[in-house]
Structure 1
Amino acid sequence: MQKNLEESAKNLAALLSSARNRRDRHLSEKIFNRIQENFPELKNRLISASILLSNVYASTGDVDKSSNIKNNLYQLGLKKKIGLSWTAINGRLFKFRAHDQSHPQSSKIYAEVEKISQELIEYGHQYDSSWITRPLEQDETVASVLCGHSERLAIAWNFVVNPNTTKIQITKNLRICGDCHQATKLIASIRQCEIIVRDTNRIHHFCKNGQCSCNDYF
């Protein structure tokens, strides 16, 4: 029974994601309401759906509604799970959590993150604050929060270990956010490196031509 509920909720979440990609506010609200009504016990699905709806509002210019959803989640203590990513390099498995500082080579990793960030900006990337689900701290920026996502750290570590790598594989415990998805497409193109990310929803194959196998349906 629980498995069937999860599967039904997952299918609705996929529809919501598709509606978000089309910036279809009316359809997004309709799907979100159905998830909220039919699956109130699936907290993680509700959080993900809330974030997706918040993204829709932000992308259509309704910043107030987007902020209200994020603030409500924050005040209710409904937070996303901590993002984790795993990557294997030279036969060793490495794990990163969002904003991880525990790696002995953290200074090199964050230097590479900054280098990649500058390359992204040069190629026109604009960091999308709609994917941030909590208020910023005083010492944070939109870029620093998004660049601290676990898959970004895993990508950076691959380039630290092997600057000329042509293939990176990552597994993560959450669905990839829209900013990371767009950034990873650019990274694959700029660095001419295939990047494969398996998230909770699908496998994303980011190609050297800057496209993803999911055709931006994630």
Structure 2
Amino acid sequence: MKSAVLVFPGSNCDRDMAVALETVTGKKPEMVWHGDSALPDVDIIALPGGFSYGDYLRSGAMAARSHIISEVIKAADKGVKILGVCNGFQVLTEIGLLPGALMRNQNIEFICKDVPLIVAQNRSVFTSAYEENETITIPVAHHDGNFFADEATLDSLENEDRIAFRYGENINGSTRDIAGILNASGNVLGMMPHPERAIDPIHGGTDGLKLFEGLLG
């Protein structure tokens, strides 16, 4: 499986994501600069965490206008797997590949800690290696992770089985405890917690590893 990791000014988890993908696939991912105009032929594209453009205007707003984004949208439409983590999730909502928005945390504070997540469904490629309703522990590190969408959108996410992860404890005010969602086709996942930081026991846990292993299926 071939992969690519996008890199924006201010990205700080791109190398973590690259290590996770290489660990599971056995191949180094292509590191794609935001100003590039073409993507390599890959099976998965990852939008990493960080603070692209210093969160200027709002998180993900500037990155959403990068040259490479039009190619990401085309790849998603073709069925390429797209994983957006933290800032990457914010970018995916900004470009319309996922609905809703990520707002300032309810307590107006930066949150950095391990949190329990509930695997809401295991019928997507991203969650297939987990058990449904399994509780896992994944780190978070965000200031704008409060997921919001209107009631009609939330009902659609529920009814279409597009909620991938929920917080076991609602740390940021996210509506309906949502921590990660899928697009209608199931090939795009956005999530605030960082699975790439939970793949090695030396880092304190390996509960993120199954997400990447599921991509090999």
TM-score (norm 2): 0.31
Structure with greater helix percent:
1
Structure with greater strand percent:
2
Q: Which has the higher contact order (CA 8 A, sep 6+)?
A: 2
TM-score (norm 1): 0.31
